[in-house]
C-alpha cells in the first residue's frame, strides 16, 4: 500500500512538472476546428560598432611622402601616398540616432630624422572630399570631423607639406594616429 501511494505521488509530481515546463517553454494551442495559431517572440540586438580606415585597403600601412624641390617659402609640396592617391578615408558607425561619432588625430610626436631634429606635424595639411580639410595641430586629441547617428562616410585626403621653415637635411619619419569614438 505504501509503495502504491509513493508511486501515485511520484506520478502526480511528474504530471505537474511536465504541465508547468511545457507551458513555460512554448505557447501551444489546439482546436477541434480547421485552424489554430500561436506566436513566437523575436529579438535583434545591434551593438555599437565603429569602423575606421585611413589609407588603401590591405595589410600594409600607407606612407605619404614629400620630396622638397626648393627652398622654404617657395610653395607647398604635394604628398604622394605609397597606396592610393589621394588617400581614401572611410568612417562607418552603428550607433544610436542621436549619438555623436568623432574622428580625432594625434600628431603630437612630430617627424624625426633620428638624430634629434624634428619637424612638427603643423607643417602638414590636407584638402578633403567627404571630410573636412585642415592642418594638423600638433595636439594629441585634435578633432577632425564629427557626425551624428549611424552612417557610412567615405572620402579622401590629399596631403601637402608647407615648406615654410628651414630644417636640417635628412629624411624625417613620423606617424599620426587616427581615432574614431562615440560616447
pLDDT in tens, the chain (183 residues): 555 545 445 444 445 445 554 445 578 878 788 888 999 999 999 999 999 999 999 878 999 999 999 999 999 999 999 999 999 999 999 999 999 999 999 999 999 999 999 999 999 999 999 999 999 999 999 999 999 999 999 999 999 999 999 999 999 999 999 999 998
- Class (C level, CATH) for 56-181: mainly beta
Angstrom distance (rounded) from CA 101 to CA 89: 15
How many CB atoms are located within 10 Å of the residue 115 CB? 7
Q: Which residues contact 102 (CB under 8 A, 6 or more apart)?
A: 143, 145, 146, 180, 181, 182
Residue 19 is predicted with a pLDDT of 52
Angstrom distance (rounded) from CA 141 to CA 175: 14
Angstrom distance (rounded) from CA 15 to CA 23: 12
Residue 126 is predicted with a pLDDT of 98
Q: Which residues contact 37 (CB under 8 A, 6 or more apart)?
A: 29
pTM greater than 0.85: no
What does the longest C-alpha to C-alpha distance in the chain come to? 112
Residue 3 is predicted with a pLDDT of 54
Quick: pLDDT tens for 35-60. 889 999 999 999 999 999 999 998 78
Give domain limits for the chain: 56-181
Residue 183 is predicted with a pLDDT of 87
| CA neighbours closer than 13 Å in the CB half-sphere of residue 175 | 7
Q: Which residues contact 76 (CB under 8 A, 6 or more apart)?
A: 125, 160, 161, 162, 163
Residue 24 is predicted with a pLDDT of 52
Residue 29 is predicted with a pLDDT of 79
Residue 28 is predicted with a pLDDT of 83
Amino acid at each position: 500500500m505504501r509503495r502504491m501511494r509513493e508511486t501515485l505521488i511520484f506520478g502526480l509530481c511528474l504530471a505537474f512538472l511536465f504541465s508547468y515546463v511545457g507551458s513555460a517553454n512554448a505557447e501551444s494551442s489546439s482546436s477541434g476546428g480547421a485552424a489554430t495559431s500561436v506566436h513566437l517572440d523575436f529579438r535583434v540586438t545591434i551593438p555599437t560598432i565603429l569602423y575606421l580606415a585611413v589609407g588603401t585597403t590591405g595589410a600594409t600601412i600607407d606612407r605619404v611622402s614629400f620630396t622638397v624641390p626648393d627652398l622654404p617659402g617657395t610653395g607647398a609640396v604635394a604628398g604622394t601616398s605609397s597606396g592610393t592617391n589621394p588617400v581614401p578615408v572611410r568612417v562607418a558607425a552603428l550607433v544610436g540616432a542621436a549619438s555623436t561619432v568623432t574622428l580625432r588625430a594625434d600628431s603630437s610626436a612630430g617627424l624625426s630624422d633620428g638624430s634629434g631634429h624634428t619637424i612638427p606635424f603643423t607643417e602638414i595639411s590636407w584638402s578633403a572630399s567627404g571630410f573636412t580639410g585642415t592642418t594638423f595641430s600638433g595636439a594629441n586629441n585634435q578633432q577632425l570631423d564629427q557626425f551624428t547617428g549611424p552612417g557610412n562616410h567615405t572620402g579622401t585626403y590629399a596631403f601637402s607639406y608647407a615648406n615654410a621653415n628651414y630644417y636640417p637635411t635628412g629624411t624625417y619619419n613620423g606617424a599620426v594616429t587616427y581615432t574614431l569614438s562615440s560616447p
